[in-house]
Structure 1
Amino acid sequence: MNEKWWKNAVVYQIYPRSFKDSNGDGIGDLEGIYEKLDYLAELGIDVIWMSPVYKSPNDDNGYDISDYQDIMDDFGTMDDFDRVLKKAHSLNIKIMMDLVVNHTSDEHKWFIESKKSKDNPYHDYYMWADPDKNGNPPNRWESCFSGSAWEYVESVGQFYLHSFSRKQPDLNWDNPKVREEVFKMMTWWCDKGIDGFRMDVISMISKYPGLPDGPENGNGYTGNTSCDGPNIHKYLREMNEKVLSKYRLITVGECPGVNAEQAKKYANIDGSELDMIFQFEHVSGSALKPCHHGKWDGEAMTMPELRANFTKWQKDLEGCAWNSLFLSNHDQPRCVSRFGNDSEQYRELSAKMLATMTHFQKGTPYVYQGEELGMTNAYMENIADYRDIESLNAYKELTTKENIPAKTVMGYIKAVGRDNARTPMQWDASDNGGFTSGTPWLQVNKNYKTINAAAQVNDPDSVFAYYKKLIALRHTNEVMVNGVYDVLIPDHPQIYAYTRTLGDKQLLVLCNDSEKEVGVPAEIEEKIAGAQGILIQNYKDVKAGVLRPYEAVVYAW
């Protein structure tokens, strides 16, 4: 069943709360997704990764699940989900569910039972620990959402671990009953007809025995020593054997803290665990500017850093494992604002350049909703306009405990806060960008009147049209899918140049990630002279000897 069909596929991530509201309550829903499936078919994508739609009290926008086999009231019903699945399949679009099994909601029936007593059969479904001799948590682990990762429960006289919100208790994967429950639930969804799983923070499900402290200045991921634990591959192989191998699926694991050597185990080409992983080195900030407050005071990687990081992953995984390719998702700021230039002059050019740079690498590309339109960061001015628990917690902690001026903290949040990606999808120039007839749960980006789907779908020069062409190329160009990657001029300050080679066929990708016109080095010009043609470009013509601001061009042999 392990046919690697996903190598030729392009995945589109939907954040349901922000995609399309069908009933005017200001919240996106399954019926809204149903209404817009034809738009996605027009774009040409193969797979929808749907962020969680399960029953949830919504403390972390659905990543806190209270029932894995029911639908959140905000989004509709299971019948609505079944309609989406059926129509998507009729359009040759597959559905990949978001599997969140490092933790549940504290309102899940397992946890409600777990905290009743130490003798309760569900108590060991979660990570409980006794206080130390002073009544404090067993270690100094911090939540990824700020503050302690431990919460005390009087009824059992113990602390439970929550790597994220206190309403997201971590499951105890060392308990075989937990694994059995999870595999049974996954099988239920597969039998329903879904086509894959994106696995939320899956590298965190195996904790280190004894719960040792990590680095004193570590964040919630590194300070907890909770990534890539000793049993992680045992548990994933068991999952593969009992569930994944029995269906024709696409699987991708979100793996914070995992390096390339570790990735070869998670996504080994023998197919014994996952098809690919998400790693986050390239979106974790530049090493040139010291960070004192986690991700908040960081800056995006420079072009040389980004190129070096992409090259490392391309070369290290060659022949060993499969890459996932992304610059955007629901946890990241908009890529055109972070890595490109979202000014009116350069937004479209840089959006197309970034897409070219990413999609021509070896791996499966992921497009986050609105990326195909060149949607930008929202830059909301007031903390009251934000909804993301991570941003709200960071604002409180940085302004009070760290005494950082509110204006400075707002600058951090405007640059990298997760709500930048979660503002509603911009469908047209009508009120609220056509997302809702009501009041949106999160305000729509103010630029929706000029940046929206209706303005782009029939425009052959639009960002949408460019993505459509890129996606079509992946379906037909074998070099783009399987060619070997090699970087050229690796020390150039602005130009990212690389080749993809398969047999006697080759592609040359040239990208200028700057607002300056830069000269093309002689060795590249000499190579271009022998090209058979141009596969795609974001300017209408080519100017000999130079790359213009944010220019991208792909030559073919």
Structure 2
Amino acid sequence: MQTRNLLPLLVIQALLCGAISAQTSTADPSALRAAATPSSDQTWWKHAVVYEIYPRSFQDSNGDGIGDLNGITQRLDYLQKLGIDAIWISPMYPSPQVDFGYDISDYENVDPKYGSLADFDRLMAEAKKRNIRIMLDMVLNHTSDKHRWFIESASSRTNPKHDWYVWNDGVPGTGKNAHQGPHGSVVPPNNWISGFGGSAWEWNPTVKQFYYHQFYKQQPDLNWRNPEVEKAMFGSMQFWLDRGVAGFRLDAITDLFEDPKLHNNPETGGINAQGDPNLADTYTNNLPEVHDTIRRMRAMVAKYPGNRVLIGETYLPNTAELDKWYGGTAKDELQLPMDMIVGFSNRLSASNFRKRIEEVETQVHGSQPLLVFDNHDNGRSWERYGDGVHNEQIAKLIAAMLFTTHSTALMYYGEELGMVTSVPTRVEDVKDPIGITGWPKEKGRDGERTPMQWDGATDAGFSTASSTWLPVASNYKTVNVQAESGDPNSLLNWHKELIHLRRDLPALHEGGMVMLDRTNSNVLSYVRTAPAGAKAVVVMLNMSAQPQTLSLDLAEAGLKGKRVKTILTDESSLKGLSALTNVTLPPFSSWVGSVE
């Protein structure tokens, strides 16, 4: 049975008496009190640093220019020293690689480009020796059109697997996208468009029907209204759970269901990079039926020992919708839906971060937040938040937020180095199909998927091949693991220090959280309250290009202490800080200290 540490009486009194004022927070006072209370729950994923690896780009072990599983195994010591608790590996299953692995043709094997099941088992064993868990990307919304299920489904209307995908006869019509059906000319049944351009309906001449594909036409959507589909997909998840994986990141999980009546999605005006009308996703995304499926999935995973975890790719409009993906008060759906509202706001704003972080702290019924600022589908945070001059300092601010707030932390390979988004300059160089179809407005996702930068040697130590699947970023000679390891002020060492502080300091590991100086639009400040016998930790992050002078009143968090001691800062002028009165923070500076 797990117990909770109680906050010191002063903290509770401060909260009850309104030190956290209703004028500066819209959160319910009881939710604020809960957020401020330390917890003794040691469930591993509640304290984890999860590291996404795009396997094509992490380490090539056999000289073919493509990363692989044995390459990941070779680099486990690096990940252990960094302080990583779990690795999320983007799809490594057999695939035609139209969408670089997100078009899966076999869910229960390894693509030969990446190795074998024996290589995977060896990776699992070596990671376990280093206390690193392995998580897999599970793509449940769609398969490859080369998957045997779809080949059968597309062979005949009477095939037992025909109803495993979303098929439709179309509606009478002529012109673009028209085809000759059994009873005359037909067009797609509605205006739904693919996320990667064109109609989301593709004609199959064998069965004379359209099939639905939310993404590429080579990625037909599964029909999750068919119980056989759920049974088969859960079976594939069990295949990997039986092999010992710690859980799954669920790709495009909000897209599992579509409106059975096929209503048109509302037009929102204008056209996208592919030249298609912009549409709302009212009838193709985040439909209520998906939650029943997730509850059954959670129950299935819960039968396995070791606190296996489900992480969701959940781009949602607000925190209220995010809470539904936890299961609300029941907490019986995803343990960790990704909070993209914080990390992908793309606006370095203390006010915005304060509001969004406090929302997820107080509006998800005490569930564990999961913050993420980088992934394989978006330009790197280096550019999204950087101003072109202070990017490294801003990257340190982002890292400080990621690792000192009360959240599980998800990071992307190379984030710890300050890897940049290397956008192709010619359409001839683009590998990502969405960049080919959308050029020049949409240049694709190659830029955030370039090879990991290990050292200043050829191909940045990623490969011995004469050419790699994507070129290494041009700054690899100075931005790499080897160079930054030797620089105590590097972004890499900043990440290492933060991650180890998060593990070692009780306040950062299991403390509660209270926002300070709530009307400050330039500086984000907060306290991580500590369990009994430990010291509280204060964090100050100047998100402006000007020095900011401020005074913090720790009584707002119910703390008596007046003196502080610097634990970590990137500014020498702040290292001797001993009090929080009239503190001047240099531009884009970060400071972390203990309350003495």
What TM-score, normalized to structure 2? 0.82
Structure 2 residue aligned with 1:536:
568
Cα drift, residue 28 of structure 1: 0.7
- 295, 308, 311: which one aligns with 1:252: 311
Q: 1:229 aligns with which of 272, 287, 296?
A: 287
Give per-residue Cα distances to partners, 1:511-532, cap 9 Å, x unaligned: 1223x23222344699999243
Stretch deviating more after TM superposition (427-436 or 347-356): 347-356
> Counterpart of 2:511 in structure 1: which amino acid?
G
Please, which of 335, 355, 361 is the counterpart of residue 275 of structure 1? 335
Provide the rounded CA distance (Å) in 2 between the counterparts of 1:133 and 1:303: 54
- Equivalent residue, structure 2, for 1:238: 296
How far did 1:546 drift? 1.7
Residue 60 (structure 1) aligned with residue 106 (structure 2): no
Distance 1:102 1:28, change over 3 A: same
Equivalent-residue separation in structure 1 for 2:51 and 2:547 (angstroms)? 33
Secondary structure of 1:496's aligned partner: strand
| Cα distance in 2, alignment partners of residues 277 and 325 from structure 1 | 9
Give the conservation status (yes or no) of the 8 Å contact 1:198–1:251: yes
Partners of 1:283 and 1:391 in 2: CA distance: 24
The correspondence of residues 329-408 of structure 1 with structure 2, limited to 5 A, is 329-341=375-387, 343=389, 346-395=390-439, 406=440
Pick from 459, 484, 501 the counterpart of residue 432 of structure 1: 459
Verify the 8 A CA contact 1:258 1:279 in the aligned structure 2.
no
Taking the aligned partners of 1:381 and 1:149, their CA distance within structure 2 comes to 29
Of 308, 320, 336, 2:355 maps to 308
Q: Note the alpha carbon deviations across 1:413-458, whole angstroms, 9 max, x for none.
A: 4xxx522220110000011111111111111110000000011224
Pair 522,192 (structure 1): closer, same or farther in 2 beyond 3 Å: closer
Change (3 A) 1:3 1:355: closer
Q: 1: distance between equivalents of 2:553 and 2:155?
A: 68
Number of the residue aligned with 1:495: 523
Question: Which of 166, 183, 189 is the matching residue for 1:127?
Answer: 166
In structure 2, the residue matched to 1:212 is: 263
> Shift of residue 271 of structure 1?
4.8
* Distance in 2 separating the partners of 1:470 and 1:162: 42
- Give distance in 2, aligned partners of 1:205 and 1:155: 26
| Structure with more relative contact order (C-alpha pairs < 8 Å, separation 6 or more) | 2
| Residue 352 (structure 1) shift | 1.5
1:120 Cα offset (Å): 0.6
The aligned residue for residue 87 of structure 2 is 48
User: Alignment RMSD, CA only?
Assistant: 2.5
Matched, 1:521 2:550: yes
- Assess if the C-alpha contact under 8 Å between 1:228 and 1:258 holds in 2: no
Which of the numbers 507, 513, 531 marks the counterpart of 1:485? Answer: 513
Aligned pair count? 523
Report SS of the residue matched to 1:444: coil
- Describe the shift of the 1:18–1:310 C-alpha distance in structure 2 as closer, same or farther (beyond 3 A): same
CA displacement at 1:230 relative to structure 2? 2.4
Note if contact 2:223-2:229 (Cα within 8 Å) is conserved in structure 1. yes
Q: Does 1:507 align with 2:537?
A: yes
In 2, distance between residues paired with 1:283 and 1:361? 13
- Please give the secondary structure, in 2, of the residue aligned with 1:456: helix
Identity %: 38
Aligned to 1:533, the other structure's residue is in SS state strand
Three-state SS of the structure 2 residue aligned to 1:251 is: strand
In the alignment, the residues of structure 1 paired with residue 552 and residue 540 of structure 2 have an alpha-carbon distance, to the nearest angstrom, of: 13
| Structure-2 change in CA distance of 1:197 and 1:525 (3 Å) | closer
- The amino acid across from 2:289 in the alignment is N
User: 1:473 maps to which residue?
Assistant: 501
| Paired position in structure 2 for 1:263 | 322
- SS of structure 2 residue aligned to 1:367: strand
> 1:386 offset after TM fit, Å?
2.5
After TM superposition, the structure 1 stretch with the greater mean CA deviation from structure 2, 250-259 or 191-200, is 250-259
CA distance in 1 between partners of 2:554 and 2:86 (Å)? 38
Q: CA deviation at 1:242?
A: 2.5
Quick one: which amino acid aligns to residue 91 of structure 1?
A: R
Cα distance between partner residues in 1 of 2:232 and 2:367: 29
Q: CA deviation at 1:325?
A: 1.0
Q: 1:525 to 1:189 in 2, by over 3 A?
A: closer
Letter in 1 for 2:487: D
Aligned to 2:448: 421
- Distance change in 2, residues 1:87/1:371 (3 Å): same
Asked whether the equivalents of residues 509 and 553 of structure 1 are also in contact (C-alpha less than 8 Å), the reply is: yes
State the partner residue of 2:127: 88
The CA distance in 1 between the partners of 2:521 and 2:428, in whole Å, is: 40
Amino acid at match of 2:247: G
Alpha carbons 2:369, 2:406 under 8 Å: kept: yes
Shift of 1:86: 0.9
Asked whether the equivalents of residues 340 and 371 of structure 2 are also in contact (C-alpha less than 8 Å), the reply is no
Counterpart CA distance in 1 for 2:506 and 2:235 is 38
Counterpart-to-counterpart distance in 2, 1:128 and 1:482: 49
* Cα offsets for 1:101-121 (capped at 9, x unmatched): 111101000000001111111
State the Cα distance separating 1:555 from its structure 2 match. 2.5
Deviations 1:314-334 (A, max 9, x none): 3322x4322111110111211
**Preserved contact between residue 378 and residue 445 of structure 1 (Cα < 8 Å):** yes
Task: Tell me whether 1:107 sits opposite 2:146 in the alignment.
Answer: yes
Aligned mates of 2:348, 2:500 — CA distance in 1:
29
| Amino acid of the structure 2 residue aligned with 1:328 | D
Mean Cα deviation higher: 301-310 or 441-450: 301-310
**3-state SS of 1:197 partner:** strand
Moved more, 144-153 or 375-384: 375-384
TM superposition score normalised by structure 1: 0.88
The 1:315–1:420 alpha-carbon spacing in structure 2 relative to 1, beyond 3 Å, is farther
The separation in 2 between residues aligned to 1:301 and 1:552, in whole angstroms, is 14
Give the direction of change, closer, same or farther, for the CA distance of 1:441–1:211 in structure 2 (3 Å limit).
Answer: same
Q: Distance in 1 between matches of 2:407 and 2:171?
A: 47
Matched, 1:173 2:190: no
Residue in structure 1 matching 2:587, options 529, 538, 549: 549
- Three-state SS of the structure 1 residue aligned to 2:529 is strand
Q: Structure 1's 322 and 285: CA in aligned 2 closer, same or farther, altered over 3 A?
A: closer
Specify every segment of 5 or more residues in structure 2 that has no aligned partner in the other structure, as ranges: 2-40, 174-185, 273-277
Q: Tell me, what secondary structure is at the counterpart of 2:107?
A: strand
C-alpha separation in 1, matches of 2:335 and 2:317:
15
The alpha carbon displacement at 1:35 in A equals 0.8
Distance 1:91 1:119 in 2: 51
Which amino acid in structure 2 is aligned with residue 198 of structure 1?
Answer: R
Equivalent residues of 1:161, 1:170 under 8 A apart: yes
CA contact (8 A) 1:10 1:364 kept: yes
Any stretches of 5+ residues in structure 1 without a counterpart?
287-299, 396-405
C-alpha separation between the residues in 1 aligned to 2:288 and 2:312? 17
Q: CA deviation at 1:45?
A: 0.6
- Report deviation, 1:26: 1.0
